[in-house]
Amino acid sequence: MIIEAQGLRKTFKSRAKRGSRTPEIVEAVKGVDLAVETGEIFGVLGPNGAGKTTTIRMLATLIAPTGGTATVAGHDLLAAPEDVRRSIGYVSQAGGVDDNNGPRANLMLAARLNGLTTAEAAARTEEMMAAFDLSGFADRPARTLSGGQKRRVALALGLVHRPPLLFLDEPTTGLDPQNRANLWDQIKALREQGTSVLLSTHYLDEADALCDRLVIVDHGLIVAEGTPGDLKREVAGDVVSLRVSDTAAAAQALKALPYPREVRIDGDLLRIYLDDGEHALPQLLATLAEHDLVIQSISLERATLDDVFLHKTGRSLRDAA
């Protein structure tokens, strides 16, 4: 295991509310257990404010846990934080790129700070610029680069000292679709090269496309864990989403049928979870017609990680985000 964590917790003191002198205690992470295999891309998926960044910052030794234990890259998080830092790369949401210097100077500085000699740093800088296609703008100030270019520089900074483990906190936030897809390819390539990756994200498609396994977190707690495929199969194979003239009456009628796994009301939408939606759909429509319920819209889709989140928490991840 590249990461093993048990009962990881973090509380913060916030400002006292008006009329009170007592600071409010905010429990950002409430007891997280993680087991990340060497060589996998492991995701922490959840809405903003769920505790994803706090969890990563604790594991990266940037903030101290309030409770719990962890081993990161073979080192005890609390007893040997310096050894943990030498064994990891960390790319924050902000990226950590010096806007006044170009990629080459940024990489040279990061390499030297991580203990490489001048000659080693220069060789590694050239290697990383080639790997992340940075050579064409190697000496341009980072403030003149596009968002996608700066994220590539940030990734290179996190990897310049060849860490076995890389932390990525919301790696594609703010990027356009093409740059997101390019960055996904580079993250997948890291796994092929043997680097373990722990990433946080609130993008459903990103977690589905990248992660070998993931946890879904909400309000500082893990609510689901597994491969994306297993988690979706746990909910159902297919989801029929309906808008009808009377949502409550339709839900009651469809719950009486033997084959839906679950019938759930989500606002004005009715979701029916099934193993085989294609063959069940005609029977659903017939049942609604028997009860004189008018269909306003209908869709049949494969179950998604959003359906998993809805199943576990009672609300959509898109709405929570």
| pLDDT reported for residue 16 | 66
Q: What is the pTM of this model?
A: 0.86
| pLDDT reported for residue 137 | 95
Return the CATH number of the domain spanning residue range 3-231. Answer: 3.40.50.300
| pLDDT reported for residue 266 | 85
Regions of the chain short of the pLDDT cut 50:
none
Angle separating helix axes 247-255 and 277-290, nearest 10 degrees: 120
| pLDDT reported for residue 180 | 87
The domain spans of the chain are: 3-231, 237-302
For the stretch 171-215, pLDDT in tens is 888 888 888 898 899 899 989 989 999 999 999 999 999 999 999
CATH topology of domain 237-302: Alpha-Beta Plaits (3.30.70)
| pLDDT reported for residue 253 | 93
| pLDDT reported for residue 311 | 86
